[in-house]
């Protein structure tokens, strides 16, 4: 608008001599207008220059709290993938050599189907894909599929499918869906976050490696300096050590509590006590054995970590241990038939240490054992016959991580859990793609 | 028994005013120090990490979960620096006040423009951060921007004391701006200084003072150097020697020491954050010490 008038004025000036009186008055008006605009602009420019000057040279001048300039992000069109959850893939594979390659068995115990320590030879073990994201401002969701080879066929297993609350008051949190039970320290870790190729013997024998099930979980975090968390779960009871979804699909419950903290800047610890009570309804174990009854499990565990000045980059050490107690009370039906009343206590435990002796390199040792009452002569010839064995395994490992996302591991186990000892050698890779994994304590 | 109850009563009574103090959980020491400058006696700020710890590699320890549970405000660098542990802490701490999107959650990097944004997002480039280099605290002008944002958030969380936060902020910024002017004058001889760095921790410092990074000891961010990497650096330094090798107090100094021995270029340990050296006990000391150490080896 203004520009057009200015152009008219200029054109008028150029076309020059032949102007009428009325045109002259119009030109004067336009000139006045132009000079007004010029003055207004000059005043504004001066004001802006003054402001720049004052900001540059008068530090004492206060800046209003509300007047904060937050750089705006470049305006980019929203893409369909922008709201996709963070996706992470973990590739795990092993090459194993067992000598001799016996069928997995622990005399005197009823281990579940996944209690073994992997396949002999090459296998991709358990690779998984995980997706997680905030659902909205109140809920968070997590989904994990694990792919594993079982008896020659590749099986996809739903490992985790849960949501949890983000904004409950008073330190409360609720979770629902399928999840790793909150019992025990190690139980909540994904396998690829372990320090050894296989889970410790008591975890395998008592919890089938890892107890996961469908249900709900409530947790409460105390408002104290010391970390104190307590929780309870009510679960379907479909998975080992429960089974058969007893009590109309509400066959297991658990209670757990843990405490933790730092000692100085270099040490941190956590200790916990857990209880699991499960109904095992026609639970299969081993080769056609069957158990029907109640399972109670108590688990006391702890972990202690050390890093000089709390900086684990060059050296760090982790000591982890657990004690298990279990009672199974019910009816045992061996492969050969004939129901037997069974009510015995069993124990187990493990202790492991992992030391990072230089950047990227760690070495670890583990001792694990289980023990059971002898159920008596009625069980002779069944898998619950202890055969005089006190099962134990010694394990050593060495691993190397080029970056946070890749790890190669070498492991040797002297497996004394059966009548005849087995030497087990493993070479394993663990590779993480995509979303950055969480640094779980 | 009665005395016990009385004692308990006194404890509760005396602890009540303490609850009025805004509890601030800072991921790094520089933000704890800044929060204390802006909040003064109205806040109590603690840092999850120390200057001797690598902020990339922290675990969600129980003590940190417990501390975040009671925080009124969480201030972290953001921009992916704490990606391995902060999201997990936020989920475990069960504290709705400090979740992302709430006034009680503040990412310092959101107040400044980030440098060094990667051209190519690929883990083959190492542990890079999609939004840019997160080590923003080494330019004092960035702290000015963060301080303003922090004061704004404190005024929202603790509205009754908004005026006092404003006064604190004004006081801090006037002292801070004087210091920046002083540092900029003192640092004039550093312009154009060439550097080898352990990790790209000094992008903002270099940008501020006109320093020039000519080589990085880590072959890729987060990957320690191998002997081949170090040999290549020695060859490069023989052709074109740098003025100094910089590393932060928490970083592994073995590569630096080796390179320094084989090239004669002096290695300089800088505090990087508050608490990183004897002198760097507050934000002013951080930059005083950093500049003095650089000036001592300036060409």
- So what's the pLDDT on residue A55? 59
Any B CB within 8 A of A68 CB: yes
Hey, of A76, A170, A221, which one would you mutate to test binding to chain B, going by the most B CBs within 10 A of its CB? A221
Give the ipTM. Answer: 0.86
b/e map A349-361, b = 16+ CB within 10 Å = bbebbbebeeeee
**What's the pTM?**
0.84
Check if the beta carbon of residue A27 is closer than 8 Å to that of residue A9: yes
- So what's the pLDDT on residue B139? 96
Q: For residue A59, what is the nearest residue in chain B, using CA coordinates? A: B174
Check if the beta carbon of residue B191 is closer than 8 Å to that of residue B173: no
Rounded CA separation B85/A165 (Å): 19
Backbone angles phi, psi at B268, to 5 degrees: -120, 120
User: Residues with Cβ < 8 Å from A31, sequence gap 6 or more?
Assistant: A9
- So what's the pLDDT on residue A63? 41
Q: pLDDT band at A324, cuts 50/70/90?
A: very high
Name the residue with tokens 């330190």.
A171
Nearest CA to CA, how far is B216 from chain A (Å)? 17
Any B CB within 8 A of A169 CB: yes
Tell me the average pLDDT of chain A. 86
Strands A289-306 and B43-47: unpaired
- So what's the pLDDT on residue A34? 77
Q: Which of A401, A400, A404 is nearest to A435 (CA)?
A: A404
Rounded CA separation A198/A395 (Å): 10
Rounded CA separation B46/B48 (Å): 7
Rounded CA separation A369/A347 (Å): 8
Check if the beta carbon of residue B93 is closer than 8 Å to that of residue B65: yes
What the block records as the tokens of A58 is 């008068």
Q: Which of B209, B263, B219 is nearest to B240 (CA)?
A: B263
Q: Which residues of chain B have a CB within 8 Å of the CB of A310? A: 49-50, 52-53
Tell me the average pLDDT of chain B. 90
Q: Which residues of chain B have a CB within 8 Å of the CB of A436? A: 80, 83-84
Rounded CA separation B207/B135 (Å): 12
| Count of all residues that appear for chain A in the document | 441
Average confidence (pLDDT) over A81-98: 89
- Structure-model confidence comparison of residues B218 and A45, the more confident one: B218
Specify the DSSP element, H or E, that contains B134: none
Rounded CA separation A163/A424 (Å): 39
> Does A65 sit within 8 Å of B148, measured CB to CB?
yes
Q: Is A149 exposed, middle or buried (CB count within 10 Å of its CB: 0-12, 13-18, 19+)? A: middle
Residue spans of beta strands (DSSP E) within chain B: 22-26, 43-47, 73-76, 105-107, 194-197, 212-216, 244-248, 267-270
Any B CB within 8 A of A76 CB: no
- Using one digit for the tens of pLDDT, what is the confidence trace for B230-255? 999 999 999 989 999 999 999 988 88
Whether pLDDT at B226 is above 80: yes
Average confidence (pLDDT) over A364-370: 97
Torsion of CA B95, B96, B102, B104, to 10 degrees: -30
Any A CB within 8 A of B172 CB: no
- So what's the pLDDT on residue A77? 67
């Amino acid at each position: 608008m203004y520009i057009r008038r200015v152009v008219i004025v200029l054109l008028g000036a150029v076309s020059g001599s032949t102007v009428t009186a009325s045109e002259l008055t119009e030109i004067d008006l336009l000139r006045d207008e132009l000079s007004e605009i010029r003055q207004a602009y000059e005043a504004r420019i001066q004001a802006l220059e003054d402001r720049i000057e004052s900001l540059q040279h008068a530090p004492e001048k206060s800046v209003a709290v509300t007047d904060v300039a937050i750089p705006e992000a470049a305006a980019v069109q929203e893409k369909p993938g922008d709201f996709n959850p963070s996706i992470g893939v973990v590739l795990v594979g092993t090459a194993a050599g067992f000598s001799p390659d016996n069928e997995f068995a622990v005399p005197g115990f009823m281990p579940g189907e996944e209690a073994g320590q992997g396949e002999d030879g090459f296998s991709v073990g358990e690779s998984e894909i995980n997706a997680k994201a905030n659902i909205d401002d109140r809920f968070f969701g997590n989904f994990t599929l694990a792919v594993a080879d079982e008896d020659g066929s590749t099986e996809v297993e739903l490992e985790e499918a849960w949501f949890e609350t983000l904004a409950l008051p008073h330190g409360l949190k609720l979770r629902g869906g399928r999840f790793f039970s909150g019992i025990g320290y190690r139980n909540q870790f994904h396998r690829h976050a372990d320090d050894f190729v296989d889970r410790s013997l008591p975890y395998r024998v008592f919890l089938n490696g890892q107890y996961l099930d469908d249900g709900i979980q409530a947790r409460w975090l105390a408002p104290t300096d010391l970390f104190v968390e307590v929780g309870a779960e009510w679960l379907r009871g479909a998975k080992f050590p429960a089974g058969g979804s007893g009590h109309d699909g509400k066959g297991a419950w658990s209670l757990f509590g843990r405490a933790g903290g730092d000692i100085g800047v270099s040490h941190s610890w956590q200790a916990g006590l857990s209880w699991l009570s499960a109904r095992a309804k026609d639970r299969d174990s081993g080769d056609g054995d069957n158990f029907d009854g109640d399972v109670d499990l108590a688990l006391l565990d702890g972990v202690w970590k050390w890093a000089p000045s709390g900086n684990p980059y060059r050296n760090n050490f982790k000591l982890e241990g657990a004690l298990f107690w279990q009672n199974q009370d019910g009816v045992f039906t061996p492969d050969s038939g004939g129901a037997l009343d069974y009510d015995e206590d069993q124990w187990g435990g493990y202790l492991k240490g992992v030391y990072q002796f230089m950047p990227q390199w760690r070495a670890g040792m583990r001792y694990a054992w289980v023990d059971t009452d002898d159920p008596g002569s009625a069980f002779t010839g069944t898998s619950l016959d202890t055969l005089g064995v006190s099962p134990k395994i010694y394990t050593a490992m060495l691993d190397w991580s080029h970056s946070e996302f890749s790890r190669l591991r070498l492991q040797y186990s002297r497996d004394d859990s059966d009548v005849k000892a087995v030497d087990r050698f493993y070479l394993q890779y663990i590779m993480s793609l995509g979303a950055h994994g969480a640094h779980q304590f | 028994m009665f005395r016990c109850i009385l004692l308990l009563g006194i404890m509760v009574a005396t602890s009540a005013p303490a609850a009025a103090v805004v509890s601030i959980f800072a991921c790094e020491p520089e933000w704890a120090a800044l929060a204390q400058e802006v909040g003064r006696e109205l806040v109590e700020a603690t840092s999850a990490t120390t200057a001797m710890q690598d902020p990339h590699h922290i675990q969600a320890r129980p003590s940190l979960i417990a501390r975040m549970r009671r925080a009124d405000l969480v201030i972290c660098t953001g921009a992916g620096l704490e990606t391995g542990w902060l999201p997990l802490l936020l989920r475990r701490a069960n504290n709705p006040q400090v979740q992302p999107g709430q006034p009680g959650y503040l990412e310092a990097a959101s107040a400044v423009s980030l440098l060094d944004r990667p051209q190519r997002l690929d883990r083959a480039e190492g542990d890079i951060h999609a939004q840019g280099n997160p080590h923003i605290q080494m330019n004092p002008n960035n702290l000015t921007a963060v301080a303003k944002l922090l004061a704004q958030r404190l005024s929202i969380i603790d509205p009754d004391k908004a005026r006092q936060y404003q006064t604190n902020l004004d006081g801090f910024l006037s002292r801070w701006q004087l210091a920046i002017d002083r540092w900029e004058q003192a640092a004039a001889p550093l312009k154009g200084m060439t550097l080898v760095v352990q990790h790209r921790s000094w992008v903002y410092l270099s940008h501020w003072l006109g320093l020039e990074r000519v080589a990085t000891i880590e072959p890729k961010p987060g990957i320690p150097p191998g002997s081949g990497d170090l040999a290549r650096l020695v060859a490069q330094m023989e052709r074109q020697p740098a003025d100094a090798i910089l590393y932060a107090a928490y970083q592994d100094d073995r590569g630096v020491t080796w390179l320094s021995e084989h090239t004669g270029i002096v290695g300089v340990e800088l505090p990087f954050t508050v608490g990183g050296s004897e002198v760097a006990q507050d934000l002013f000391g951080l930059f005083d010490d950093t500049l003095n150490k650089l000036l001592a080896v300036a060409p």
